[in-house]
Amino acid sequence: MLAARLSRLGISNDTRIVAYDDESGMNAARLWWLLRYLGHEQVFILEDSFSTWKAEKYPVTDHQPIRVPSTFVANVQPQMLAGVDEVRVVSEKTVAAMGDTADGDSPASLSPLPILIDSRAGDRFQGQNETMDKKAGHIPGALNYFWKNTQNADGSYKSADELQEHFTGLEKDREIIVYCGSGVTACPNVLALEKAGYKKVRLYAGSWSDWISYEGNAIATSE
């Protein structure tokens, strides 16, 4: 279990954690989300990548500190997750509601349904270039917000104002369910949405890989 692993690393419930990586922040964001899912609030993201840190001549070392085992007690936050059954219902209701409107409203305008957000690149969302999974396309009714568009060219996250503009059209009092291919690159979008002021954001951790494992689940390929 992750809690046992954290305890062996000397991390307790009072430890302040700053996560970083050199992969455009996706793994750091995933760790940020996992720790918060376990109820750990003192977790933060380094705004820049490790490459930027080194380029700015900040200190680095190959020394690992001595690990003194501690006790990390998990306080799981199930409300942060959305499962496949719920996502299926949201998808079906969204598609039905879009079909019932005269002008084919966007899912973002169909209150009070939760909004589904696909975090993958546009070509994967549209089913044009699927290099990871056996089936191409996206969950019907989902909107496409590529996770890298929440960041600047140097890999740092955009400001709260910029992110609010990026997510313009998404009502802040609506529930939002975010997914990607396997539950990793959705996490930067979760982080960015929260930075922009959205409070009801959840992760479909199984994401597209889980969705297509069910034969009866519908697949869309249009924008």
Told to judge if 187 belongs to the known catalytic residues of this protein, a careful annotator would answer: no
**How many whole angstroms separate alpha carbon 45 and alpha carbon 53?**
13
Q: Does an H or E element contain 45, and which?
A: strand 43-45
Which entry of 6, 90, 143, 180 is annotated as an active-site residue? 180
Q: What angle do the packed helices 26-37 and 186-195 form, to 10 degrees?
A: 70
Contact 43, 191 (CB under 8 A): no
Of the candidates 220, 168, 221, which has an alpha carbon nearest to the alpha carbon of residue 197? 168
The count of other CB atoms within 10 Å of the CB of residue 188 is 28
The count of other CB atoms within 10 Å of the CB of residue 37 is 19
Catalytic machinery residues: 180
